[in-house]
Every structure is written in C-alpha cells, then in structure tokens.
C-alpha cells in the first residue's frame, strides 16, 4: 500500500495500511512517530506516501517528542497524527494532556499489545482501554474510538480526524495486534464520498481574535500560526486569550467548556453498530478484534435457537451509555468479552444498576477469544 490506491479497485490491506490510507484521505499531511510493534506499518506507509503528497514524515527519538511535533504541526494548521503501541502510549500521555488543555486537534493511534511494561509485543490485548480514558492526569474530557475490521481502520480514522478538527480535541483510536495485521479485501472510496471536516478558522481580523472564547458550540475558531494571528498557547489553566490564570471566575468556565463541547455533541461522537439486537434476549457487548468473534458466536447461537445479539462499540469514550442502557432494560443477560480483566465490563456494570445480569469473559494470555468460547457462555446464559 505504499503506492497511491486506485479508488474502486479491490485491495488486500492490513488494518494498519488501511489506517494510513484513512488518515491521508482525511487530509493528514504530518506524521511523527517512533517504530514499535505492532504499529510500525502505519509509519512505514506514511513515510512513503506523505512526501509524495507534499506532506511531512519525521521519525522522532521517542513517543514524547513525536506527539510534541504533532502538536506543533497542528498549531501551524496541518492535520497531524502519530501511531504507537502500549509502551509508547504511556510515554505520550503528558503531551496528550497538553493537547486537551490547549485544544489542539490531532489523532493518536494505539495498536494495543500485551502489557504491562514491554509485556507481549507481538500478541493481542485490550489492556489500554482505561488508560485511554484516564492516562493523562487531571479531570479531562477525551474521545476514544475503536476499530474491529479493515474497513473500520479506514473509515473510523477519517471520522477521528473529523471529530478532532470539529471539536478542537485530540482523538485516540484503539486498534489491536489482530486488527492491525489482519488482511481483508477493501474498496477505498473516491475523494468526496466520505465527509471530511476541517477546523473552523477565524473570520475576524487578527486584532479582534480571542483564541479561547466561548461559542454556542463550545469550540472557538483556531488560527494557524504564521498567518498573522498571534496568541499564547500553554498547558497551564488560561484565560480566553491563552494567558495563565489562577482566577476562579476564569478557571471554572474554561474547564466547564472543555467538557461541554463534547457533552453537548454526544450524539455526533457516539457510534455503535448493532447486529440482531431487535429481539435479542442475550446481548454481547464487544469492541475491537473480539467483536469479530462475538459476531460469529451470535450467528451460531441464532442457528441453535438462542436469541443473541451484538452491540459493537466504536466509541469507547465518552462511554456510550445512551446506546447501551435501552438494551440493559429489556434483555435477560449481557456478556462482555474482553482481552483484559474486565475494563469495559466495569463500565457496563456501573450503569446497569441491577437492571439485568452482566457477566464477563476474559483472556490475558495474548490469544484471541474464540467464537466457540463466546458461544459456550451464551448457551449458559
């Protein structure tokens, strides 16, 4: 996939290659990263394709510097991205918090592998779900999306850039080793077939520009550096002009706006896919590579007369309670299979509040949960 794809022609792509294609389709023109298994193919494709499109690829000394460079490029007006795996995702958390506070749009891909520490570099895991929500310090809003198929890797990456640009926020995409290295046939859409969103730029002259003013959307326009608009950018709590402040009457409105700009657009951010849920008596809630096993298990369960359904989560954070809660009120049981000890199951139980039975199915050994394992639990439920 190092050559430009021909829209309309079937391609056999890895998830990582499709993710790079999605970033380029969305208009990404800057990538900084550091090689790490199992995310390296994203960097490899971008290192070839970006320069050919007039973009910039830089291999940095580590993931801390990578996200720093991405933030700088975004401030200059360029759609920017980095890709890593668990150890690198841990390193970039400080700069991720800076991007949240400074409201710098960018996309961060984490292709999950076994951990903690160096863990299982070449095996699958979903152990970074809660880290993606709470990895950077402070009480902060965040957007995290998940991919399960090669098409997801393309389309969800486009959506991630759109959300990042629209709401001036970093967006994390959680992939995993199985999704990243699974090859599937995919037909890439032609330019213009999918929506591509660019950030809102100021329409007023530089002397009138207020970089962090409140707006009905909660999202201020963003002026690229170098275009005549001068403003202060800091990770400190700041006033509407970007200068550090300790005044409560400036701190509280800022923090409330950071949350509000995502909360009031929850419907736009929340994405799930449903399969056979209309009459389901037993519901599987899954994401990432496990959602693929779950779908096959639901098909087999239906063949045996078990009314099972699948709710596949694409948006992980903000937690998609609005899509889950109606099902909790009517199904007899819920199964949450995950490649961790139950990080998303904990969230499902939190909103369940005794409405139905919620059970977990977990693996920690770097192997995928199989359809047979899920099917066996569905039969018990």
- In tens, the pLDDT along 223-246 reads 999 999 999 999 999 999 999 999
What's the structural domain count of the chain?
2
d(CA 368, CA 337): 10
Cα–Cα dist 313/319, whole Å: 9
- Rounded to two decimals, the pTM is 0.96
**Residue 9 — very low, low, confident or very high, per pLDDT cuts 50/70/90?**
confident
User: Hey, is 354 helix, strand or coil?
Assistant: coil
Ramachandran region, residue 32 (left: φ > 0; alpha: ψ -120 to 50; beta: rest) = beta
* Closest by Cα among 249, 301, 309, 248 to 276: 309
Give the residue-averaged pLDDT of 13-35: 98
Single out the residue in 154, 186, 218 at which a domain terminates: 186
- DSSP secondary structure of 200-218: ----S-GGG--TT---TTS
My answer on whether 178 and 293 are in the same domain is: no
Domain range for 116 is 11-186
Domain boundary among 165, 186, 207: 186
pLDDT of residue 57: 98
pLDDT tens column, 289-329: 999 999 999 999 999 999 999 999 999 999 999 999 999 99
CATH code at position 47: 3.40.50.970
Half-sphere exposure of 367 (CA within 13 A, CB side): 5
What are 79-96's pLDDT values in tens digits? 999 999 999 999 999 999
> Is 213 a domain residue?
no
Please give the pLDDT value at position 7.
65
Domain termination residue (choose one: 130, 156, 186) = 186
Q: Are 174 and 124 in contact (CB under 8 A)?
A: no
| Residue 276 confidence (pLDDT) | 97
Q: Specify whether 181 is located in the same domain as 284.
A: no
């Amino acid at each position: 996939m190092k050559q430009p794809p021909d829209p309309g022609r079937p391609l056999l792509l890895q998830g990582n290659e499709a993710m790079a294609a999605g970033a380029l389709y969305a208009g990404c023109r800057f990538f900084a990263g550091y090689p790490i298994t199992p995310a390296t193919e994203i960097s490899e494709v971008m290192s070839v394709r970006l320069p050919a499109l007039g973009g910039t690829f830089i291999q940095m000394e580590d993931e801390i510097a990578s996200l720093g460079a991405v933030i700088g490029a975004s401030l200059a007006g360029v759609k920017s991205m980095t890709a890593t795996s668990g150890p690198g995702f841990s390193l970039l958390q400080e700069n991720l918090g800076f991007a949240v506070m400074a409201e710098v749009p960018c996309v961060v891909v984490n292709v999950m592998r076994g951990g903690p520490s160096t863990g299982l570099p070449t095996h699958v895991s979903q152990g970074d779900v809660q880290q993606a929500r709470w990895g950077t310090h402070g009480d902060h809003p965040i957007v995290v999306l998940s991919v399960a198929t090669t098409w997801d890797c393309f389309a969800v990456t486009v959506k991630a850039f759109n959300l990042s640009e629209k709401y001036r926020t970093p967006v994390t995409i959680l992939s995993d080793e199985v999704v990243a290295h699974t090859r599937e046939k995919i037909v890439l859409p032609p330019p213009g077939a999918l929506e591509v969103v660019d950030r809102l730029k100021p329409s007023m002259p530089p002397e009138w520009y207020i970089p962090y003013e409140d707006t009905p959307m909660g999202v201020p326009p963003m002026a690229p550096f170098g275009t005549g608009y001068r403003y202060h950018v800091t990770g400190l709590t700041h006033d509407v002009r970007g200068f550090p402040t300790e005044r409560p009457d400036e701190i509280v409105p800022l923090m409330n706006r950071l949350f509000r700009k995502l909360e009031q657009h929850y419907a736009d951010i929340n994405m799930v896919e449903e399969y056979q849920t209309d009459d389901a008596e037993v519901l599987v809630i899954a994401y990432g590579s496990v959602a693929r096993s779950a779908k096959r298990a639901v098909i087999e369960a239906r063949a045996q007369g078990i009314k099972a359904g699948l709710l596949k989560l694409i948006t992980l954070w903000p937690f998609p309670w609005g899509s889950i809660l109606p099902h909790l009120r009517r199904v007899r049981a819920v199964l949450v299979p995950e490649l961790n000890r139950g990080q998303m199951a904990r969230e499902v139980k939190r909103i369940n509040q005794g409405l139905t039975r919620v059970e977990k199915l977990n693996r920690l050994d770097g192997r995928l949960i199989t359809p047979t394992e899920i099917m066996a639990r569905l039969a018990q439920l």
